[in-house]
Amino acid sequence: MAAKIEGKFAPSALATPANAITALRLLATPPVLLLIVHLGVSWAAAVVWAAIASTDFLDGWVARRQGATTSGAFLDPLADKVLVLGALGALAATGLTSWVPVLVIAGREIAVSGYRSVLARHGVSVPARPLAKIKTAAQDLAVGLILVPLTGLHHAGIGQTVLWVSVGLALVSGAQYLLDSRHPALAIGPTPPDDLPPV
């Protein structure tokens, strides 16, 4: 049983409702991708996508009320990346979108994740920026717009436009992480001797 502190889960807790929702999103990803590949633009694929993508907001809502955990802080963005990149890859593989935005987004995610891992090894934690959360929401919306028959078949440019907007948000939020790391509180490397003159 996960330990609770004053009615909320402790930061070290693993078995929490929020983590269960996140795990559901991860487990549901393969069936969702198969649905996208086989049905393409369809109401069935769009509805299932909306239901699974909405769990990102649901687990965040639950975590804020029952206590955020270290495991949740790791698993939630991981589930987001797997779901979104998988869906975008499925759309590109079926010709519903270009591979270019998919590869740009994937490259950004790999670079930022690797960079944050390097900082973590130095004991530095870089929290998620609000713009990164907006970026994920834009990507979810783009996939949904491409799958919905109304916009995917008759107004295909809408979904593609939102997708490229999400690419821009991904690049800007990635740059923010790099700028954050330049803050003195996030500086890594050997600490200079106290007798060095200020620079």
Range of the domain at 66: 10-184
Whether residue 178 lies inside any domain: the answer is: yes
> Is residue 190 in some structural domain?
no
Q: How many domains does the chain have?
A: 1
pLDDT in tens, 24-56: 999 999 999 999 999 999 999 999 999 999 998
Cα 52 to Cα 27: distance, rounded to the nearest angstrom: 10
Looking at 40-123, list the stretches that DSSP marks H as alpha helix, in order from N- to C-terminal side.
Answer: 43-53, 55-66, 70-93, 99-121
Cα separation, 42 vs 140, in Å, equals 16
pLDDT in tens, 100-118: 999 999 999 998 888 877 8
* Spatial separation of the C-alpha atoms in residues 138 and 173, rounded to whole Å: 13
Asked if residue 191 is part of any domain, the answer here is no
Q: Report phi then psi at 9, rounded to 5.
A: -70, 140
Confirm whether pTM is higher than 0.85.
Answer: no
Give a yes or no: residue 124 inside a domain: yes
Q: Report yes or no on 195 lying in a domain.
A: no
CATH number of the domain residue 44 falls in? 1.20.120.1760
Q: Which of 141, 144, 137 is nearest to 170 (CA)?
A: 137
